[in-house]
């Protein structure tokens, strides 16, 4: 299958630098930096960084012992007065340390855990080949031909697992793919992805000054802890196909981004160089396939 054209689209990596619609994304890195390298196959998505990792607050400081409060002078002074102040100062120091220790311990019990604790993985597991684990059967009716040379990799590190799969979509046996589906599942073992997840995906609606050319971002209920649908359709309408200022072809993109505890999963469907008269799936059809495949793949990652 041939390498697809490079549309402007949100890539599967949560920290991918935003691509302005209509601009080709950067080529996958060959190593170094934050992202795990993507094999140089037909992957249409730029890989520029790993999963979410918001800055973690510093650990709890050791409880500070409050200073001993000053004691008022005893009338008449003398050695007895000095001993009294010293004795009470020691007593206040002991009591203060005990109170501070109790407050610190109480804070841990009240919060349950400190804010830098690892998120729950909800039973999701690392797999060696995401292409064999991902359930993409929802696409089979429209795209019956299987990709015999998919792009897949797994990077299993102590803090972050990155699993990736990209396949070409063909309606018939041919040398060129008409579309692509990709899925990435990241397990965040140390850093909680929740604080930045929504902002990252909603940012795709801010990619340009023209609202009509930006991605449309909507929240999705019933999948994971939170999910967002990112769509774009640049295929010209039939009524505009003869206009001199309108391209003859366009692209359709549907990306579903899901966070469930420490799992972040993105599943993308793209078709390229589509004409208004082509019998190609609509965004609504692509959205249904993406949702069904994401749910099934998340279930398989728990097996």
Share of the chain above pLDDT 90, in %: 44
* pTM exceeding 0.75: no
Contacts of 230-234 with CB under 8 Å at 24 or more apart are 230/10, 230/201, 230/204, 230/254, 230/255, 230/256, 230/257, 231/255, 231/283, 231/287, 232/9, 232/21, 233/283, 234/21, 234/22
Q: Are residues 291 and 191 in the same domain?
A: yes
Of 135, 148, 145, 149, nearest to 169 (Cα)? 145
Q: Are residues 93 and 150 in the same domain?
A: no
Q: Are residues 90 and 157 in the same domain?
A: no
Q: Are residues 261 and 137 in the same domain?
A: yes
19 is a domain residue: no
- pLDDT tens per residue, range 137-182: 999 999 998 898 999 999 999 999 999 999 999 877 655 567 899 9
Residue 264, pLDDT above cutoff 70: yes
Q: Are residues 281 and 141 in the same domain?
A: yes
Q: Are residues 278 and 177 in the same domain?
A: yes
Number of domains in the chain: 2
Domain boundary among 68, 93, 116: 116
Q: Are residues 109 and 247 in the same domain?
A: no
CB atoms < 10 A from the CB of 55, how many?
A: 9
Q: Are residues 176 and 63 in the same domain?
A: no
31 is a domain residue: no
236 is a domain residue: yes
4 is a domain residue: no
- pLDDT tens per residue, range 21-48: 444 444 333 333 333 443 434 444 444 3
- Please say whether the beta carbons of 17 and 26 come within 8 A: yes
Handedness of CA 146, 264, 226, 268 (dihedral sign): negative
pLDDT average, residue stretch 71-94: 45
pLDDT average, residue stretch 251-275: 95
Q: Are residues 140 and 106 in the same domain?
A: no
Across the chain, mean pLDDT equals: 72
231 is a domain residue: yes
- pLDDT tens per residue, range 191-245: 999 999 999 999 999 987 776 678 999 999 999 999 999 999 988 887 655 555 5
Q: Are residues 262 and 169 in the same domain?
A: yes
Residue 249, pLDDT above cutoff 60: yes
Q: Are residues 109 and 153 in the same domain?
A: no
203 is a domain residue: yes
Range of the domain at 88: 59-116
Q: Are residues 138 and 111 in the same domain?
A: no
Of 208, 235, 273, 197, nearest to 44 (Cα)? 273
């Amino acid at each position: 299958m041939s390498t697809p054209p490079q549309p402007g689209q949100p890539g599967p990596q949560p920290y991918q630098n935003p691509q302005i619609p209509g601009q080709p994304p950067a080529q996958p890195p060959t190593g170094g930096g934050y992202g795990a390298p993507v094999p140089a196959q037909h992957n249409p998505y730029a890989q520029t960084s790993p999963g979410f990792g918001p800055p973690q607050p510093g650990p709890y400081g050791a409880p500070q012992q409050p200073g001993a409060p000053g004691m008022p002078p005893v009338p008449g002074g003398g050695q007895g007065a000095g001993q009294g102040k010293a004795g009470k100062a020691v007593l206040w120091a002991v009591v203060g340390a005990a109170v501070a220790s109790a407050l610190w311990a109480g804070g841990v019990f009240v919060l349950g855990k400190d804010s830098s604790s690892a998120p729950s993985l909800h039973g999701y597991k690392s797999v060696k080949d995401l292409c064999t684990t991902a359930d993409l059967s929802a696409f089979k009716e429209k795209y019956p031909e299987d990709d015999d040379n998919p792009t897949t990799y797994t990077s299993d590190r102590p803090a972050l697992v990155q699993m990736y799969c990209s396949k070409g979509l063909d309606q018939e046996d041919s040398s060129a793919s008409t579309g692509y589906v990709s899925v990435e599942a990241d397990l965040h073992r140390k850093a909680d992805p929740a604080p930045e997840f929504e902002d990252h995906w909603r940012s795709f609606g801010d990619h340009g000054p023209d609202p009509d050319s930006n991605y449309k971002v909507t929240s999705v209920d019933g999948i994971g802890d939170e999910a967002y649908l990112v769509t774009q359709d640049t295929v010209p309408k039939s009524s505009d196909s003869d206009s001199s200022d309108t391209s003859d072809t366009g692209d359709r993109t549907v990306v579903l981004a899901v966070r469930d505890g420490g799992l972040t999963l993105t599943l993308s469907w793209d078709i390229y160089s589509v004409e208004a008269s082509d019998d190609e799936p609509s965004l609504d059809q692509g959205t249904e396939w993406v949702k069904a495949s994401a749910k099934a793949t998340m279930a398989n990652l728990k097996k």
